[in-house]
Amino acid sequence: MTLDIGHQSTTAIANLGNSDHVEKDRPVTWMSLPRKDQLLILTLARLSEPLTQTGLQAYMFYQLKSFNPSSPDATISAQAGAMQASFTAMQFVTAMMWGRVSDSSWGGRKRVIVVGLLGTCMSVLGFGFSGSFAQAVFFRCLGGFLNGNVGVMRTMISEIIKGKKYQSRAFLLLPMTFNIGSIIGPILSGLLADPIASYPHIFGPDSILGGTQGVRWMTKFPYALPNIVSAGFLLCSALGVILGLEETLEARRNRSDWGLKLGRSLGRLLSCRRRQHQYTPLAGDEPISPTSPDTELQNSSQPSKPPPPRRRQKLPFRRIWTRNVCLTFLAYFLLASHVGTFNNLWFIFLSTPRYDAAHPSSSLKLPSSYHPTPPLRFTGGLGLPPSRIGLALALLGTIGITLQLLLYPRASTHLGTQRSYRLSLALFPLAYVLAPFLALLPSSTPPPAPVAGVVVWLGIAAVLCVQVLARTFALPASAILVNNCAPHPSVLGTVHGLGQSVSSAARTVGPLVAGWGYGRGLEAGVVGAAWWVLAGVATVGFVAGGWVREGNGHEILLEGEGEDEEEGERDGGERQGGRK
């Protein structure tokens, strides 16, 4: 009997070794990603933020117009740029701080994410109930000040997903989630914005819910309803993080977490109720003996007590700034600047009234002697209402999620991170050069009726296909490059915080300058001026991307680390020799 058990144990060990070898050679799929439960919580937490941020763009132009209806479109364009910049400017100031907090033993990754979600929740509620431009800017600043989540979420993904072969899919989760939010958020916000005007029979005077005067708070704050819905999403996400997300920072990994305990207790309670309804024990059922040979083998292969965590040395902040880190951040700054500026210019351009020589819009403030002379001197936008703007923004997300699911994983695996990143950067200038020419496409109905025809929608889809194709490859690759350029694992959260600060700085300067330049272009009758400057920035970004190389995340060895690795290799060799 002993010989049989020994033979079974030897066979099981050999099978485990063979399965490990097969696992390494097996192609990476979405189902093969480890810790899918934790990735799901992070994904849902990330989803709630683009639902909010992209939803604002569907009606921001009209909400700013409601603060002062007499303001010209050039002023509204500049205000929209300032509104976008106020959020990212505060992120630039605090993102590195949140990265340092997430690296500290008293902070941690999970606490920073919870603070970011709750802070954004307060921000969107305040923004929805703002009555002036100054109040709206304040609440956008508040949201940016408290939110450093993107960098921390990327850090957690890199700590959950250890294998480099999984990175192309794991780091795609956050951009893919952003595109899903870009589909749902604008459509939902476009439908909920100004409910009195959109659904007068439900919320207006003498309606089902409005009574004789209509719903008063909706009349006073016509753009509050989509923000209330967004705040609900953010609150649910924060609750999910508290109850289900595990800390990944090594210094806090083994500490007690009341949120996880409560979440597990609720899970056991629900599981017990489900079993009571689904399973009834039969007479004669016996529990499986815990001392079976298979169980003994499994228990013997696991240590009875985990080894105490070794105190990891931390790289000083001044040593973070290697040549590759600086070049990676430079290319990341240029990429974030034109991608963030495109998103801001896009919804302004969609909202700007069309130009028609017979019936020129007074809000464009053009001189009476103005005559457009394409291909350079022409003006006007597409004049879409909030519901159509939401549809156009959702189209951007739909194209993005389709490309990310069907094209990116295979192409990225074939081309590699660095090559796919550089090739994608070459597509951005083309999209930005073509975008303003959509204003010259014929509409199915003459202005001022804000209804775009089939030709316009085909043009919108063509421009978005080019821009989103480039973005689909560039953003996940840039996140991987930022992650791998970290010179030491002890500063991974700090590097991602710095990356978010760099991105926030770019997304502050870009929309602010572009919003002002777009307004000046409208006044001069050259709507493409800001777009073509943006194409120039993207061209410089393409050149800078050629200087970036992919690091390994551990280029600097601190004192004693090399000796520890050599000792570990010797111990491993002795154990293997002993087994032989």
Out of 66-70, 286-290, 306-310, 560-564, which region has the weakest mean confidence (pLDDT)?
286-290
Q: Is the pLDDT of residue 404 over 90?
A: no
The per-residue pLDDT for 27 is: 65
The per-residue pLDDT for 358 is: 63
The per-residue pLDDT for 303 is: 47
The per-residue pLDDT for 300 is: 44
The per-residue pLDDT for 296 is: 42
Give the pair of three-digit tokens for residue 461: 């889809």
Q: Is the pLDDT of residue 49 over 80?
A: no
pLDDT tens across 143-199, in order?
989 988 888 898 898 888 877 778 777 877 887 888 788 788 888 888 898 888 888
| CA 105 – CA 176 distance, rounded (Å) | 31
Q: What is the end-to-end Cα distance of the chain in Å, rounded?
A: 24
Q: Is the pLDDT of residue 67 over 80?
A: yes
In this prediction, residues 274-297 reach a mean pLDDT of: 47
The mean predicted confidence, pLDDT, of the chain is: 79
- The pLDDT-based confidence of 311 (bands split at 50, 70, 90) is low
* DSSP character string of 259-297: HHHHHHHHHHHHHHHHHHHH--PPTT--PPPTTSHHHHH
Containing 53, the helix (H) or strand (E) segment is helix 36-57
Containing 209, the helix (H) or strand (E) segment is none
The per-residue pLDDT for 368 is: 67
Q: Is the pLDDT of residue 427 over 90?
A: yes
| CA 92 – CA 140 distance, rounded (Å) | 13
The per-residue pLDDT for 327 is: 93
| CA 161 – CA 521 distance, rounded (Å) | 47
The per-residue pLDDT for 25 is: 53
Burial of 281 (0-12, 13-18, 19+ CB in 10 A): exposed
Q: Phi first, then psi: what are they for 26, rounded to 5°?
A: -70, 135
Higher pLDDT, 288 or 72: 72
- The pLDDT-based confidence of 225 (bands split at 50, 70, 90) is very high
Using DSSP's 3-state secondary structure scheme, residue 154 falls into helix
* CATH code linked to domain 32-256+321-545: 1.20.1250.20
| CA 527 – CA 148 distance, rounded (Å) | 34
Q: Is the pLDDT of residue 554 over 60?
A: yes
The per-residue pLDDT for 535 is: 95
Domain boundaries, the chain: 32-256+321-545
Q: Is the pLDDT of residue 557 over 50?
A: yes
In this prediction, residues 249-268 reach a mean pLDDT of: 86
Nearest Cα to 525, choosing from 357, 358, 359? 357
Q: Provide CB contacts within 8 A for 487, sequence distance 6+.
A: 315, 319, 320, 322, 325, 551, 554, 555, 556
- The pLDDT-based confidence of 378 (bands split at 50, 70, 90) is confident
In this prediction, residues 549-578 reach a mean pLDDT of: 58
Q: What is the pTM of this model?
A: 0.66
The per-residue pLDDT for 357 is: 65
The per-residue pLDDT for 294 is: 42
Residue whose token pair is 């156009």: 392
